[in-house]
Amino acid sequence: MEKKPHFVRREFLPREVPSISLALLLAAVLLLNALLYLYLNKFYSSLGRVETDPGLCPFGHFKFGAVKNCSPWLSCEAINREVRKLKCVGEGAVKKVFLSEWKEKKVVLSQLTNSELKEDFLHGLKMLKALQSKHVVRLLGYCEQQFTILTEYHPLGSLRGLNETLHIPKYKGMNTWHRRLMLAIDYVSVIRYLHSSPLGTLVMCDSNDLDKVLSQYLLTSDFHVLVNDLDALPLVNRSAGRLVKCGHRELRGEFVAPEQRWPYGEDVPFEDDLMPPYDEKTDIWKIPDVSNFFLGHVEGSDIVRLHLFDIHAACKKKDPAERPSAQEVLDTYRKVLTLLIQEAAMPGTREML
């Protein structure tokens, strides 16, 4: 009987090995995608800082730290009796801010400094009470009669100190494109919340330059962004024909939106009565500049900027009606983050397949 040649069995081996490798690679990709999905799902649930967080207390109450039970906002009497000022840590046009102590916890006490601006102070308090959420600094108490507000203390301070914080050895590990983009997403989440708040569409008016914007927000110890100053937050109501103007003085510079600048040229003196009002799209115009600050100049930040180029160009449309909504910007930021995490997790996957 004629024997079969030995090479017949061996000729299948070169085909079988790549098939096994490809199957293992596909399995690894599927596993990675599943893990990535779980991570992003958990990430967005916290990053979005949704308003309906079950950890929030009922209106008029607060809790913070490891405390499980909600307490009522502190009254005038409780603030005067239980809160002790430690030192002044800041002063603006409207109020002076003191690092203080309540029941061995650090808190922030804000007091009106200019009686002519008491309406601004009370408006800020009204907004703070009505907008309590994961996006807004936690209110602990207030005293309208004494023009005093008590809020939670965040030791990392305002966003103006972000770059300095990220150079502290303890936080250097946070100084990555990934973490910086997450902060930008947090910021846009706040803008989206204000534009669709329980009170209606609110415009962040204390935002005439980058430094002013950054001073309105706090950086939490777990690296999230909270809006802190709500003194200048007018309401847009299109159905009632109600637009806004951010103050009564002329605004200049490229940071503010075109519609916020005096439209009649240098030859016509500025008059507040002649200045046309505008809507919340002024906030959209400023997003690229604020995000550029967030992204900084770390490795990978230029790649992020490249992916955000189109949405940022849309934010800078001269016609406010052509700019995207805050929700559209937020959706794009999240998509870019997901894409870049996938590419970082499996570099060269497409070429391998």
Rounded to 5 degrees, φ, ψ at 87 are -165, 155
Shortest CA distance to 327 belongs to which of 281, 290, 291? 281
Shortest CA distance to 168 belongs to which of 213, 218, 210, 223? 223
Q: Which CATH class is domain 71-153?
A: alpha beta
What pLDDT is stored for residue 210 in this prediction?
Answer: 97
Q: What is the DSSP string of 217-284?
A: EEE-TTS-EEE---SS--EEBGGGTB-B-S-SS-B-SSSS-GGGB-TT-TTS---GGGS--B-THHHH
Q: Provide block-wise average pLDDT over 10 residues at a time, the chain (353 residues).
A: 49 54 62 56 47 71 85 96 95 92 96 92 95 96 97 96 96 96 98 97 96 96 95 92 94 97 95 97 98 97 98 98 98 97 71 44
Cα distance between residue 341 and residue 347, in whole Å: 10
Cα distance between residue 63 and residue 41, in whole Å: 26
CATH number of this structure's domain 154-345, picked from the four choices 1.10.510.10, 1.10.3720.10, 3.40.190.80, 3.10.25.10: 1.10.510.10
Shortest CA distance to 249 belongs to which of 266, 272, 283? 272
**Position of tokens 């950054």?**
214
Instruction: State the number of CA atoms in the 13 A half-sphere of 155 facing the CB.
Output: 4
The pTM assigned to this predicted structure is 0.84
The predicted-structure confidence for 188-229, as pLDDT tens digits, reads as follows 999 999 999 999 999 999 999 999 999 999 999 999 999 999
Hey, where are the domains in the chain?
Answer: 71-153, 154-345
The predicted-structure confidence for 63-117, as pLDDT tens digits, reads as follows 877 778 999 999 999 999 999 999 999 888 889 999 999 999 999 999 999 989 9
What pLDDT is stored for residue 174 in this prediction?
Answer: 95
Residue type, 137: V
Instruction: Let me know if the fold of 71-153 is the same as that of 154-345.
Output: no
What pLDDT is stored for residue 43 in this prediction?
Answer: 52
